């Protein structure tokens, strides 16, 4: 292989490495959220990225049907999470929610995915 050919291969490999690194950095971090209750409504956020734990908006929905539909379900309350160690904590306190099915959503950010908890009955 000629020197020019080797340089072309090295440039192509270098560009590929930069492209893959850029895609990896641009990918949003996976996130999960939980919900607990009924008298004290709170939960946790888990993510591999520490910046995805605190300062996140969490919404609690009252589920109307048999499945989660944020566009239809009523937002009952929202709060902002705090990072404590390796998890995010969110807490609404005792909101006096009526009996029903509820779930939490943590909203997406520029570097973190959104997530929905499992539905729980209060």
Task: Tell me which residue of 106, 116, 108 sits closest to 29, measured CA to CA.
Answer: 108
In-domain check, residue 10: no
In-domain check, residue 19: no
Query: pLDDT 10s digit of each residue in the chain, 122 long?
Result: 676 655 555 555 544 544 454 444 568 999 999 999 998 999 999 999 999 999 999 999 999 999 999 999 999 999 999 999 999 999 999 999 999 999 999 999 999 999 999 999 99
- pLDDT single digits (tens) 77-86: 999 999 999 9
Task: Tell me which residue of 33, 56, 46, 35 sits closest to 108, measured CA to CA.
Answer: 56
Q: Rounded to an integer, what distance in angstroms lies between the CA atom of residue 90 and that of residue 42? A: 6
CATH of the domain at 77: 2.60.40
- pTM for this entry: 0.78
Domain enclosing residue 64, as ranges: 28-121
In-domain check, residue 49: yes
Instruction: Provide the domain count of the chain.
Output: 1
Q: How many residues does the chain have?
A: 122
Q: Which residues contact 70 (CB under 8 A, 6 or more apart)?
A: 61, 105, 116
């Amino acid at each position: 292989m000629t020197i020019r050919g080797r340089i072309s291969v090295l440039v192509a490999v270098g560009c590929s490495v930069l492209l893959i690194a850029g895609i990896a950095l641009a990918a949003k971090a996976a996130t999960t959220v939980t919900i607990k209750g009924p008298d004290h409504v709170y939960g946790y956020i888990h993510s591999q990225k520490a910046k995805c734990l605190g300062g996140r908006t969490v919404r609690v929905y009252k589920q109307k049907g048999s499945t989660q539909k944020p566009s239809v379900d009523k937002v009952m309350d929202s709060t902002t999470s705090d990072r404590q160690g390796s998890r995010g904590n969110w807490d609404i306190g005792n909101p006096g929610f009526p009996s029903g099915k509820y779930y939490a959503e943590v909203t997406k950010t520029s570097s973190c995915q959104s997530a929905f908890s499992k539905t729980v009955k209060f």
